[in-house]
């Protein structure tokens, strides 16, 4: 075999550099989704609202993402995938320009809704495009690379955006997202993605078909309540840390949460391959309840204990997601794609509801008391999981 042929084969087997641009796009989206929590006090002070009201910016983005995801997928299914992919990322970039220059809270809220719409349009297409660009035998690796963009955003993007917001103003945090998403958009335009035919149209009714089956709905809702519990606390983590550790740079602390999330994502895949997913979910949710309830105490006064608590908390929040996805695939393999899409919607609806519940709770309780509400949300997730497992076992016995 000639040297030229060898180079050609190696090039076909390597990861297409355009996949890294797709990952940059998900990194920008992930940074945008979580950075608001870090700069919440600054936004509230500058706009002249309470931190509880400011937290509804997270609600707006996540609620829009959760509701609009199946709708935008159905509406754009007949359009060119490349146009929708690049167009949604460009519009997401412009939505963040609007967030950065918004003269009022109403305009800022509107910009977060727009960002949620364009984000939920981009992400599934980024996964599909990565798979089509990958060489044979590396599709899973390519898709995982795009997925990890969001995880890295939790570990690095959100803390860095928070640091920028603390030192240069919260509007600059949104401009960071503008730069990241703008670079990814321009790179994808210049990279000339291969033409892709429009996917077969799937009606909204077909996408929501599993929601008509009570057993599958019950399997989906634990993720919803888990995220209510987590984000009732995480959305207001900046004021909690400012109260418990005055003078400490919150952005640095959030890096530990993000690193825990990265470790959790990496560990989850290996654990799912070795242990039963139901047992993993029961174990992680049980420990998460304890960690959430003790979080206010663990972050009070002692910096090292706070760092450890945030690392463990981030790990537990992240490690639950993969076993939940695997469980849904086993419960309804015939609805695999739709179930995973609905699980993603439940994920973001949980974030939206959690941030809303936390914000409303701050009207009557201190920020340190949010951990009890968070623990109650995760406890509800665990109880619903146990009920779902019990029904699943009874159904299996009847079918046998």
Measure the CA–CA gap between 357 and 58, rounded to whole angstroms: 12
Cα angle, residue 294 at apex, residues 293 and 299 outer, rounded to 5°: 130
Mean pLDDT score across all residues of the chain: 84
pLDDT of residue 377: 95
Rounded Cα gap, residues 13 and 11, in angstroms: 5
Separation CA 1–CA 71 (nearest Å): 51
Nearest to 251 by CA among 165, 170, 126: 165
What is the CATH code for 14-193? 1.20.1250.20
Residue pair 277/327 in contact by the 8 Å Cβ criterion: yes
Q: Which residues of the chain have pLDDT under 50?
A: 2-12, 398-400
Pick the CATH number of 206-400 from 3.40.50.1360, 2.60.40.10, 3.20.20.70, 1.20.1250.20: 1.20.1250.20
Q: Which residues touch 27 (CB under 8 Å, ≥6 apart)?
A: 149, 150, 152, 153, 157, 180
Q: Tell me: the pLDDT tens digits for 73-115? A: 778 877 888 888 999 999 999 999 999 999 999 999 999 999 9
Residue 332: exposure state from Cβ atoms within 10 A (0-12, 13-18, ≥19): buried
Q: Which residues contact 211 (CB under 8 A, 6 or more apart)?
A: 217, 342
Do 372 and 289 contact (CB within 8 A), yes or no? no
φ, ψ dihedrals at 76, nearest 5°: -100, 5
How high is the pLDDT of residue 199?
54
Domain ranges in the chain with CATH number 1.20.1250.20 = 14-193, 206-400
At 151 the pLDDT is: 78
């Amino acid at each position: 075999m000639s040297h030229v042929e060898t180079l050609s084969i190696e090039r076909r087997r390597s990861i297409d550099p355009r996949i890294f641009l797709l990952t940059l796009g998900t990194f920008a989206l992930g940074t945008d989704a979580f950075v608001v929590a870090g700069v919440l006090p600054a936004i509230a002070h500058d706009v002249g609202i309470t931190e509880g009201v400011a937290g509804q910016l997270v609600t707006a983005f996540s609620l829009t993402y959760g509701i609009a995801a199946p709708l935008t997928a159905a509406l754009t299914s007949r359009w060119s995938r490349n146009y929708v992919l690049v167009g949604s990322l460009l519009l997401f970039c412009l939505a963040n320009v609007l967030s950065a220059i918004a003269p009022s809270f109403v305009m800022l809220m509107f910009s977060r809704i727009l960002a949620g719409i364009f984000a939920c349009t981009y992400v599934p297409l980024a996964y599909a495009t990565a798979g089509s660009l990958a060489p044979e035998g590396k599709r899973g690796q390519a898709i995982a690379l795009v997925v990890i963009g969001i995880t890295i955003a939790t570990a690095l993007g959100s803390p860095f955006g928070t640091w920028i917001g603390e030192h240069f103003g919260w509007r600059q945090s949104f401009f960071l997202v503008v730069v990241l998403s703008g670079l990814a958009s321009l790179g994808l335009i210049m990279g000339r993605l291969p033409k892709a035919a429009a996917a077969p149209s799937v009606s909204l009714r077909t996408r929501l078909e599993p929601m008509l089956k009570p057993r599958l709905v019950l399997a989906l809702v634990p993720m919803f309540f888990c995220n209510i519990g987590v984000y009732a606390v995480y959305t207001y983590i900046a004021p909690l840390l400012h109260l418990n550790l005055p003078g400490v740079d919150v952005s640095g602390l959030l890096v530990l949460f993000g690193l825990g999330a990265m470790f959790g994502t990496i560990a989850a895949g290996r654990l799912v391959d070795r242990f039963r997913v139901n047992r993993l979910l029961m174990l992680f949710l049980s420990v998460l309840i304890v960690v959430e309830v003790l979080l206010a105490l663990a972050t009070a006064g002692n910096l090292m204990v706070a760092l450890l608590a945030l690392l463990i908390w981030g790990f537990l929040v992240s490690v639950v997601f993969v076993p939940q996805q695997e469980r849904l695939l086993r419960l309804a393999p015939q609805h695999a794609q739709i179930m995973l899409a609905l699980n993603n919607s439940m994920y973001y609806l949980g974030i939206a509801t959690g941030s809303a519940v936390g914000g409303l709770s701050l009207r009557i309780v201190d920020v340190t008391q949010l951990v009890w509400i968070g623990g109650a949300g995760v406890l509800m997730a665990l109880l619903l999981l146990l009920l779902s497992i019990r029904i699943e076992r009874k159904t299996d016995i009847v079918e046998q």
